[in-house]
Amino acid sequence: MSPAARRPAPRRRPKRRIDAPRRAAYDALRQVTGNDAYANLVGPELLGQRHITGRDAAFATELLNGTCRLQGTYDLIIAAASGRKLGDLQANVLDVLRLGCHQLLSMRVPTHAAVAASVDLAAVAIGERVTGLVNAILRRVGEHSMDEWLDRLTAGLDEALARAIRSHHPRWIVDEYARLLPADELDAALAANNIAPRTCLAIRPGLSTVAELVDAGAEAHPRVPTAAYWPGNPGDLAAVRDGRAGVQDPGSQLAALAVVEPDAPEGPWLDLCAGPGGKSALLAGLAREQGTWLLASELQPHRAALVAQALRAYPEPHRPQVIAADGTRPAVAPGSFARVLADVPCTGLGALRRRPESRWRRTPQDLAALVPLQRALLRAALDAAAPGGVVAYVTCSPVAAETTEVVEHVLAERPEVTRIAPDHQLWPHRDGTDAMFRALLRVPADPAGQEPNRRR
């Protein structure tokens, strides 16, 4: 037998396998970090497409959302453990490392399993050439607990920066919170942003009831009459599938309900910035109950389509109208609407627990760019209101520059407009809701002195 014949065959590398939940979390994270997708949208979409359900879906959801929520902290840990600048790592490798960090430091995944699964994920999704690097970095990460890493990262830092790192927030957001809250509430408020919210449903008035949801297994909200908590997949409910109920934070529901509380003239209602449609769907039913109708306006056609989808269960010919129009230049006659909701575009910093990636995506420059738009939309909302009409200015943010300061600026221009009630700010740590802000305003009555017909 020749020497060649006696030579042993080369050993084949065992075939790598990666479980479906981790692969789904990785693919979703790549869309979030690479394409500016939203984790709360792309994650469920991928899970549905790949038929991942039950405990596997819960694992993938926590892995994706938790990684996004703590991304800034994990990036500091990866840089320290690797001795590299983040820019020296491939973007897809960095995402594998972030997912690995979350499993090692924030989930009940044994160290060896977290490292091995991350190495396999890197091999399958990227290539064998990066597995050694991923293995080495994650082994160093796993040498310390989260608390130990936080102690290392914050050693010698000033109190505010250390609080930002320990609470997993950018420094500028911590500074904004510190300006708004008593010192003894600051840590609780930041911590609340790191707790995933319960799924809350909103009924479509006239189409479903909270009692129907409770009969199906939901829990009625103690303070919001249109809301109920749902413990499972909302798509399991017939009312949600049919469009007779939808997912909506209780704070968002309270903001919409506020525009209905004060007396107002008779006449149609306007949702000036309606996308994606949750508040429109709630208000549409309430308007029908009062014998009137709602117009929903949204700038972007694709978001206007989402509004129409949210309103689909309301029967013709009384289904609310939806238009694609610029809210700063409404396609309606001035003084036409008894009630106007202006839920304006904002930083979304009130929904950090629901949109985990947004804290790392938003910057102070975004805030500065939004304020002129917010002022313009509030002016347009006031213009659209009928004499004696009610306007609700709403943002999903606690930041003063886009809440109270916008209102004060516009009211200084229009001293004839009055506040109906004090401005109100919700907080997750106080109210169990997103940090929604609302101001209720009234435009002056008919200058001829005639009081309009009012309806509650």
Per-residue model confidence (pLDDT) at position 370: 97
Helix axes 91-106, 146-154, angle to 10 degrees: 120
User: At residue 212, what is the residue type?
Assistant: E
Of 411, 433, 420, nearest in space to 392 by CA:
420
Contacts of 368 (CB under 8 A, 6+ apart): 401
Distance CA 185, CA 103 (A): 30
Q: Is 101 a catalytic residue?
A: no
Per-residue model confidence (pLDDT) at position 273: 94
The angle formed by the CA atoms of residues 419, 329 and 371, to the nearest 5 degrees, is 55
Per-residue model confidence (pLDDT) at position 453: 45
Per-residue model confidence (pLDDT) at position 316: 81
Selecting among 68, 101, 273, 396, the annotated active-site residue is: 396
Per-residue model confidence (pLDDT) at position 319: 81
Per-residue model confidence (pLDDT) at position 413: 97
Per-residue model confidence (pLDDT) at position 29: 98
DSSP class of residue 423 equals -
Tokens standing for residue 144: 């310390």
Binning the chain into helix, strand and coil, the percentages to the nearest 5 are 50, 15, 35
Domain annotation for the chain: domains and CATH numbers: 20-147 (1.10.940.10), 156-192 (no CATH), 196-247 (3.30.70), 249-455 (3.40.50.150)
Contacts of 227 (CB under 8 A, 6+ apart): 200, 201, 202, 203, 210, 220, 221, 248, 250, 253
Q: What is the pLDDT along the chain (456 residues), one digit of tens a residue?
A: 455 555 555 555 567 888 999 999 999 999 999 999 999 989 999 999 999 999 999 999 999 999 999 999 999 999 999 999 999 999 999 999 999 999 999 999 999 999 999 999 999 999 999 999 999 999 999 999 999 999 999 999 999 999 999 999 999 999 999 999 999 999 999 999 999 999 999 999 999 999 999 999 999 999 999 999 999 889 889 999 999 999 999 999 999 999 999 999 999 999 999 999 999 999 999 999 999 999 999 999 999 999 999 999 999 877 889 999 999 987 888 999 999 999 999 999 999 999 999 999 999 999 999 999 999 999 999 999 999 999 999 999 999 999 999 999 999 999 999 999 999 999 999 999 999 999 999 999 875 444 444 444
Per-residue model confidence (pLDDT) at position 12: 56
Per-residue model confidence (pLDDT) at position 21: 97
How many CB atoms within 10 Å of residue 330? 22
Distance CA 209, CA 227 (A): 9
Per-residue model confidence (pLDDT) at position 6: 58
